[in-house]
Chains A and B, each alone.
Chain A
Amino acid sequence: MEPVIPIIILALPLTMFLVLGLFGHKMAHRTAGILGTLGMGVTMVLAYITAFTYFFSGSSEFINEEGVRLQSLIFNWDWLAFTDSLVIRLGFLLDPISALMLVVITTISFMVHLYSNGYMRDHHGVWETGFQRFYAFLSLFSFSMLGLVVATNIFQMYIFWELVGASSYLLIGFYYTKPSAVSASKKAFIVTRFADLGFLIGILVLSFYTGTFDFTNFTSVGVEGMANVYQVDITTAEGIRNWIATSPAPVFMGGSVLTWALVLIFMGGMGKSAMMPLHIWLPDAMEGPTPVSALIHAATMVVAGVFLVARLFPLYLMEEAALNIITVVGALTAFYAAMVACTQVDIKRVLAFSTISQIAFMMVSLGVARPEFHHGLGYMAAMFHLFTHAMFKALLFLCAGALIHAIGSNDYTAMHGLRKHMPITHITFLIGCLAIAGIIPFAGFFSKDEILTAVFGQSIFWYIWMSAVAGLTAFYMFRLYYLIFWWKEHKIPEGHHAPHDQPWTMTLPLVILAVISCVAGFVPFGNLVTWNGHPMFESVNFFTNLGALDWSVASISLAVAIVAILLATVMYKKENTLPAKMKNALPALWDWCYHRFYWDELYMFITHKIIFGCISKPIAWFDRHVIDGSMDGMAWVTQRISFAIRGLQSGNIQFYVWVYLIGVILLGAITAVCLI
């Protein structure tokens, strides 16, 4: 494939960022919005072309004679050549997951660009301050995220990884006059930076022992003549397994170097993907404008951790321990976030916790993926769920944005009974809820079912656990749905007009995403994205996924979801006292869930009381008194001496000459004495 289109895919959003960032304030708001949206639209079309070419062209660059999909380097430039072996490259790697991510990112990003044209202005059509800046940052984010997914080596990925973090920081703090937004953006940045420290150490350890940064090399080290071949069969992981087994890598605290490197790299993924215990930044990140939450904190950036694990999956496969850690972390996070989501009042926070829970689903799915079971079904399921989740969660967030825009509050208590006032939002939100709850035939059903099947194949315990989480998911989503759209008649505040559906720029993305959420489940993912590029099905048609279902698992999860939805219907459809009674029956549980299991308080305690109190304060004292004190002391002594002897500088030249002369004579005398 010619590198022209891939280069434009990366260059266009960057150009948009520069143009809107540098000249945006000179443009009319509408021009800036249209320019940004158009730029993203073109990028989306080009990304579709690229992905389509990759999956369906049948070119020998992308697929070999046996139908195995290959990793293909479209271009790979030497960027920083330090030595012969230490070269940092920038390039464009096309393989199943990067092609998939190109589609997901550009689709959601375009929807959000379009939607923001309506969202970022009030009911009277007055534009938000910093509208152009908003579009510039959106473009920057899109550029960074695209660069991340097409990275050819782990260092390029790290660079873009930090760039998405920075754009996320900028966008969370978009309303920088609001103190809560500022602290939320700082929190997000610091927590993810802390996680990235682990990531960086992991990268260094891994590349030190393998001698390479390139993803293609990680799967082919030790295979004769494969190191610099541009097209690599993803199945050659065996090579690195042998290589690591024979190379003299030291063992540290009971784990091999590879285990440690992979766990540390996963730590970076935990930070970005908001896995427990590094999840605390994501709920606060909802301070940003809602389209940003949809783009960054639901659909794309937060799945970067999943993408990272998927990208290095051949390596993770070699370490059972690392995969088990991923499974456990994911499962605990999924359950925790689902519990918390059941009690939150702020609709964006419910969605945020739901996002955490769903990303944890993907992590679990990767954690249980084994080549022995259904050709690594878990890997495919994780990517499938990533795709469908991006669509329906972006839909839900954009619906929430429409509601917030219409009502002017994030609380469902200000909403209630909106179904008659905002029919389009109502229907699309319902579709989103059905999709995430896993009701056939919506997208979430298929992907979640694949995940549960994969978990079932690995462990019954985690299967039951994850099914419970799926039930909770259906429950809290329909709790939210009923509390927003039913519960009781909507009360219009005095002096306000009735809430209504939003302009077409906002409803069109909702409708498009809702349609995608309805049909995305039928995409035959098993033939597009698998861990080793081998297709799962002999032939595909529209109902392949339906036919491939494991109905014993599917019927159970469907039943769980339906029971949960019915429960939510009983509790929340009409105003009643049941929820309050349940809350009073289990006050401690409700309290813990409502306060997010006091994680933030725990962090506050650890950082403020223990780290600040016991470590930072003594260090600060030492700095102020000992280090500063010694410097001040030197200055003080110098000053005192200067005051004492400054009388010598009398201004009388002849006195200076006397002193000089006597000095010379003395020196001469001393020299003479010494010589004699």
Chain B
Amino acid sequence: MELTILWYLIPSLLMFCCGVYGFITRKNMIAMLISLELMLNAVDINFVVFNRFLFPGELEGMFFTLFAIALAAAETALAIAIIINVFRVSEKIDVDDVTKMKF
């Protein structure tokens, strides 16, 4: 059995949908962050796969993924810092409690 592009894209799609679902339904901000990372990783897989199958001789997609991973790590660090600060103020990390940023 040959591994076609779909073998990669379908898990990636599932991962992305899980991420979206988790991001919308979870109230815990850490869980939301994890969902976010799932979405990002799904996108990364897409990059790599499309690069591999459409432009086999080239490496742009790979490098782009490396950048995205680095960015995701930085973003996570930032997000966790924010979450810790939120926790210090309100003793909770429920997203429903953090609704002060509005008009």
Contact = CB atoms under 8 A, between A and B. Distances in A.
Interface in A633-676: 646, 649-654, 657-658, 661
Nearest to B23: A657
B24 A651 contact: no
Contact of B95 (A649, A650, A654, A658): A654
B89 interface: no
A237 to B, nearest CB: 78
Interface in B60-103: 95-96, 98-103
B20 interface: yes
B102 A651 contact: yes
A653 B102 contact: no
B89 to A, nearest CB: 15
B101 A658 contact: no
A657 B102 contact: no
Contact of A649 (B20, B96, B103): B103
A651 B95 contact: no
A652 B24 CA distance: 11
A661 B102 CA distance: 20
A56 B17 CA distance: 103
A650 B99 contact: yes
B20 A661 contact: yes
A657 B99 CA distance: 14
Instruction: Categorize the interface residue count of chain A.
Output: 10 to 19
A581 B74 CA distance: 103
B46 to A, nearest CB: 16
A646 B103 contact: yes
A651 B100 contact: yes
B101 A651 contact: yes
A540 B95 CA distance: 108
A661 B101 contact: no
A286 to B, nearest CB: 64
A28 B100 CA distance: 65
A313 B96 CA distance: 89
A647 to B, nearest CB: 8
Contacts of A654: 23-24, 95
A183 to B, nearest CB: 52
Interface in B24-40: 24
Contacts of A650: 99, 102
Interface in B1-60: 20, 23-24
Contacts of A658: 24
A657 B32 CA distance: 12
Nearest to A642: B103
A256 B65 CA distance: 78
B103 A652 contact: no
Nearest to B27: A654
A142 B23 CA distance: 80
B96 to A, nearest CB: 7
Contacts of B100: 651
A658 B20 CA distance: 10
A661 B17 CA distance: 11
A563 to B, nearest CB: 91
A532 to B, nearest CB: 83
Nearest to B26: A654
23 contacts: A646-B103, A649-B102, A649-B103, A650-B99, A650-B102, A651-B98, A651-B99, A651-B100, A651-B101, A651-B102, A652-B95, A652-B96, A652-B99, A653-B95, A653-B98, A654-B23, A654-B24, A654-B95, A657-B23, A657-B24, A658-B24, A661-B20, A661-B24
Interface of B: 20, 23-24, 95-96, 98-103
Given A651-B101, A654-B23, 8 more contacts: A651-B99, A651-B100, A651-B102, A652-B96, A653-B95, A654-B95, A657-B24, A661-B24
